[in-house]
Structure 1
């Protein structure tokens, strides 16, 4: 019998997973080709680094919301435009909890901030 909480590889859908960053949009914090670990989550808070889907396109960005209704996704590299989320169909797929740059690991702890979405 098939377990609906597992994907086709046998991994649980709610387990953290790794992706490689391609591009300079999130530099200098996340350089091109670094590895990030994503914890599946459908919520985030101001300042979190997130993997999100906006209008069917997936993005790795920083979530910012200084005031209610002002949510946007921001690339750390100022050469790339912000994505204003008001009026768009979007969802958080996960939060970045770790970065690995040439075997130097940095953890991101979101336990100190309240959850919002």
Structure 2
């Protein structure tokens, strides 16, 4: 494991005032922290998340689980949804339903490398 993968936490604080409904549905970018999604997603890569994306089995998603946002692959096993890390050093996390999914990853890119963009939409 990398030294940053212990459990890097970045607090997201909302700006004063309410967000309008349109802004909350806009795609946003996040930086990958840790090694739980190796080999497909390396620490430092930037992912673009579509909050209105369709969460299908096998999709890479951002979900709210046990009080935190988590980036994983969405899988279905024996009638249960799981948040699955690609790195086998980490455990699957079961979720009660798709309501926990807050967005679907549609793209990734390594910072500073124009040709490194990869799309995850059909």
Give the TM-score band, short-chain normalised: 0.7 to 0.9
In structure 1, the gaps of 5 or more residues are: 7-11, 112-117
Structure 1 stretches of at least 4 aligned residues deviating more than 2 Å after TM superposition: 2-6
User: Is the helix fraction higher in 1 or 2?
Assistant: 2
Is the CA contact 1:41–1:92 (under 8 Å) kept in the aligned structure 2?
no
**Larger relative contact order, structure 1 or 2 (CA cutoff 8 Å, min sep 6):** 1
Contact 2:55 2:98 in 1 (8 A): no
Give the alignment of 1:1-117 within 5 angstroms. 4-5=20-21, 12-41=23-52, 43-67=54-78, 69-86=79-96, 91-102=100-111, 103=113, 104-109=116-121, 111=122
Q: How many residues align?
A: 102
Report the TM-score, using the length of structure 2 for normalisation: 0.73
Q: TM-score, normalised by structure 1?
A: 0.76
